[in-house]
């Protein structure tokens, strides 16, 4: 049963999730599995794998984020934004993607899960102009850190804003290539229960 499996995975971490939040996370996985058959939203087909590769992979970064207003760029089916919005109802998340079918799916998720802290936006990142700058840009979609900071610099506050890149192996080569106005704040090796392979969160900021 998916719920028991998710509870067991969460128990292997220091993440605190209520019964309601666990139910919402399972509902999200079930919706993703259902819509995936038609919309092809993720290459992960097995809901049990989704619990590890999508849900836990997203949740483990939550405690490392600073601030309350975030944008998830290239969110795809809502990763990591939807799991994080469920775990942190006090934080706000804009989920940005250029593909209409993904935004349609996200609207359905928000409606069915009754999420009030999520705004899906269909736009290319370079064309999106927020009314207020974000505390952090989140993404696991960019191929390189350089791409992420060059496309997203207009989205974060210059003093406090952060870029949070979810990566696999530690991206040493990419860090060397970063422009001079961007610095590495910290890197975190993430422990995702029962996930094969390395995961890292890279935190960057603009030089003042």
Measure CA 191 to chain center.
Answer: 16
Q: Tell me, rounded to whole angstroms, the distance of Cα 87 from its chain centroid.
A: 12
Phi, psi of 182 (to 5 degrees): -125, 135
Task: Count Cα neighbours of 52 within 13 Å in the Cβ-side half-sphere.
Answer: 15
Tokens representing residue 206 in the block: 């603009």
Q: Does the annotation flag 162 for ligand binding?
A: no
Is the C-alpha dihedral spanning 141, 143, 149, 152 positive or negative? negative
Q: Is 79 annotated as a binding residue?
A: yes
Cα angle 44-197-101, degrees, rounded to a multiple of 5: 25
The answer to whether 126 is a known ligand-binding residue is yes
74 belongs to an annotated ligand binding site = yes
Strand partners, 94: 71, 119
Residue 87, judged by CB atoms within 10 A of its CB (0-12, 13-18, 19+), counts as buried
Three state DSSP letters for 93-157: EEEEECCHHHHHHHHHHHHHHCCCCEEEEECCHHHCCCCCCECEEEECCCCCHHHHHHHHHHHEC
Q: Annotated binding residue at 78?
A: no
User: Which residues participate in the annotated binding site for S-adenosyl-L-methionine?
Assistant: 74, 79, 125-126, 140
User: Which residues participate in the annotated binding site?
Assistant: 74, 79, 125-126, 140
């Amino acid at each position: 049963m998916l719920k028991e499996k998710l509870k067991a995975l969460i128990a292997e971490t220091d993440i605190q999730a209520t019964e309601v939040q666990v139910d919402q996370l399972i509902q999200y996985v079930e919706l993703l599995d259902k819509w995936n058959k038609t919309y092809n939203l993720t290459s992960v087909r097995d809901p049990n794998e989704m619990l590890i590769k999508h849900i836990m992979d997203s949740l483990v970064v939550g405690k490392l984020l600073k601030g309350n207003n975030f944008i998830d760029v290239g969110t795809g089916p809502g990763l990591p934004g939807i799991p994080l919005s469920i775990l942190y109802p006090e934080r706000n998340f804009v989920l940005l993607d250029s593909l209409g079918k993904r935004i349609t799916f996200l609207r359905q998720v928000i409606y069915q899960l009754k999420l009030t802290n999520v705004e899906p936006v269909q736009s290319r990142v370079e064309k999106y102009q927020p009314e207020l700058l974000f505390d952090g840009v989140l993404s696991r979609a960019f191929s390189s850190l350089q791409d992420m900071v060059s496309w997203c610099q207009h989205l974060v506050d210059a003093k406090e804003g952060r870029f949070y890149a979810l990566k696999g192996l530690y991206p040493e080569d990419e860090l060397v290539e970063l422009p001079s106005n961007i610095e590495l704040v910290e890197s975190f090796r993430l422990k995702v229960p029962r996930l094969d392979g390395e995961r890292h969160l890279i935190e960057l900021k603009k030089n003042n």
